[in-house]
Amino acid sequence: SSKEWPGGYPPRDEGLAQNVFVMSKAGGTPAAGRVWPGATWFVDFFHPNASAYWHRQLEVWRSKVEYDGVWLDMNEPSNFCDGECPSGCVEGSEGGDGEE
């Protein structure tokens, strides 16, 4: 969640620590996108740490909720911005047209 920056959201914090997010062309920070719940970063599924990252996230979730299977409904590239959102993961930025 972009509202909990910095720290306080383990999936994001662990992703940053493992460097698994798609990085910005400018470098140094994850590329920001926008999907139906709001601002987001995307896991780079080709990154060598991606499988371990997802394994850990699902392991934590399974310790709280016993499940038989998982459907990652946002598992395909989807972004409401054309490329990176110009304002990054900032609450209230609409992106795509440069307006906030």
C-alpha–C-alpha distance, residues 11 and 70, integer Å? 16
59, 66, 68, 73: the catalytic one is 73
Residue 73 designated active-site = yes
Please give the full DSSP string across 47-64, using - where no structure is assigned: STTHHHHHHHHHHHHHHH
**Eight-state DSSP code of residue 37:** T
59, 66, 68, 76: the catalytic one is 76
Q: Catalytic positions, please?
A: 73, 76
